[in-house]
Structure 1
């Protein structure tokens, strides 16, 4: 059913967080426009003209003074929206025709659910469906057995690459955890929504194409930085939800692997393991992700400053 005929069309607005995403953003925004979905682009201090690209495409732009990470930028975008439903989408994601309408139809059909996600198809044609989550309090699937749905279903986790959320509920649970700069913010949101009694629904009829890893342009040290945040965030959410700390094991394992990787002279491999070891060690030492990125001062930083 075309979106223009959907009775709740005026209730949806997209939030797209972008950082150096000028190359992929036009396709994302064009698909949203085709679906009749207005967009707010939160520009996370891009250096490649992302904000101008968004404005030329007719999107409303929220400019962040610095890159504050995925979750905090999405929180700013949702706060700027006045819609009943917010579609959170990565800039390298393109909705298939009718996807927005299918998500909204699911929201109407399942009033006890707060979060909805489309069927995500990767560039190579693979169908992304995560069978478990570190933080899932139900449908735990400890062996991670892949079982792809054939229709709408409740899920333990929905990917932050594309989510339709009831804005009122999102705000009521505090949005994405602002302490997380990158990674596991979607797992944490899913857990909090489920703890609050809301279902998470995979919507089979809605399809989105995801160019994984293309949200931002290449930058020196990107792999190290990404792996640092992945390790730190996993340790953070594990502690937050009372799970055993993975930080000591992650540090030991990746420190050894990074030393072995030095012999390969392969920079991406070295950055991968060294970044994971550094992120785990930083967590063990009480450092924060926001402190690393200069968004907030590290705890006790004033006490360590000279004079």
Structure 2
């Protein structure tokens, strides 16, 4: 199956440092890219256009899943490839993923072997949305070949475009975090396999999409805590209790006394996000997006 049957969707937000390498790797694979930029203040849009990508310039930060939904809606190929801007596909990776899609027609999503800077292969051993018997402590054993897994990383996913649309795409109520776990769960519930393709490799920078700062740590942990509560309620799972918030509050105070702004901001964000969820505030309202899906 030719690479012309797939369009890459890359969501950028202040990603100018890593975006060129991501787009260069896609170009080497012959894959056209749609870059959905979430109102970056850096050169992300200009760099994407210079690399030949089609750029959709959002006037506000729509969040990860919602921006991907916008990108997929603009694609017309049978397959879409969700790609984080800090991920670089290896040689032949797209061809291997497309060949696996033909080999495994029941697969709803396929992902490459994702290698982190340390050389570790990333696999997700646990998830709030996984049955208890599938949750594992520690690292998972890396498959020696293709394998069906309970979850795939949202850093790189090959998906049939029509199936993505039929399932409603990423949950538009989520601004950040758990959107990929939620999509994996809905794929499995609809009877589609999630396939790790060992013959396809990608290198992932893990967290290098945007530069770190105390403000971004606060925001990320706010959304992580909010999304955990939202997902738990969506699937009728045990909801996070106040004890965790008290623990995070204590840690925020402790790190504040140590003048560690990054860790103080992270734990304070967890407290604020959990409190907002318990009070019924939505992630979209928090980001000024309203509550419309």
Q: TM-score, normalised by structure 2?
A: 0.96
What stretches of structure 1 of length at least 5 have no aligned partner? 1-6, 299-307
1:255 deviates by 1.3
CA contact (8 A) 2:125 2:137 kept: no
Kept in 2, the 8 Å contact 1:235–1:247? The answer is no
1:137, 1:191 within 8 Å by CA — same for their partners in 2? no
Aligned to 1:243: 237
Deviation string for 1:227-275 (max 9, x for gaps)? 1111111111111011000142331221122122222111011011111
How many residue pairs get matched? 292
Could you tell me which residue of structure 2 aligns to residue 120 of structure 1? 114
What's the counterpart of residue 179 of structure 1? 173
Match of 2:151 in 1: 157
Match of 1:86 in 2: 80
Shift of 1:56: 0.5
* 1:111 counterpart = 2:111: no
1:288 corresponding residue in structure 2:
282
Is the CA contact (8 Å cut-off) linking 2:109 and 2:194 kept in structure 1?
Answer: yes
* Equivalent residue number for residue 256 of structure 2: 262
Q: What SS is found at the alignment partner of 2:77?
A: coil
Counterpart in the other structure of 2:222: 228
Alpha carbons of 1:138 and 1:249: their partners in 2 closer, same or farther (altered >3 Å)? closer
The residue matched to 1:114 in structure 2 has which SS?
strand
Match of 2:194 among 200, 203, 209: 200
Which moves more between the two structures, 249-258 or 274-283?
Answer: 249-258
| Secondary structure at the counterpart of residue 101 of structure 1 | helix
Q: Which blocks of at least 5 consecutive residues in structure 2 are unaligned?
A: none
What secondary structure sits across from 1:221 in the alignment? helix
Gap change, CA 1:138 and 1:200, over 3 Å in 2: farther
Maintained 8 Å contact 1:15/1:78: yes
- Is 2:25 the counterpart of 1:43? no
State whether residues 247 and 283 of structure 1, in contact with CA within 8 Å, keep that contact through their aligned partners in structure 2.
Answer: no
More displaced 10-residue stretch of structure 1: 230-239 or 254-263 = 254-263
CA apart distance, 1:288: 1.0
Q: For residues 105 and 138 of structure 1, do their structure 2 counterparts lie closer, same or farther at Cα, with a shift above 3 Å needed?
A: farther
Instruction: Give 3-state SS (helix, strand or coil) of 1:265's partner.
Output: coil
1:133 pairs with 2:127: yes
Q: Aligned partners of 2:135 and 2:92: how far apart in 1?
A: 31
Q: Separation in 2 of the partners of 1:234 and 1:12?
A: 32
Residues of 2 paired with 1:219 and 1:74: CA distance? 24
Distance 2:125 2:41 in 1: 37
SS in 2 for 1:43: strand
- Name the CA distance, whole Å, in 1 between partners of 2:5 and 2:131: 31
Aligned to 1:305: none
Residue 4 of structure 1 corresponds to: none
For residue 61 of structure 1, give the secondary structure of its aligned residue in structure 2: strand
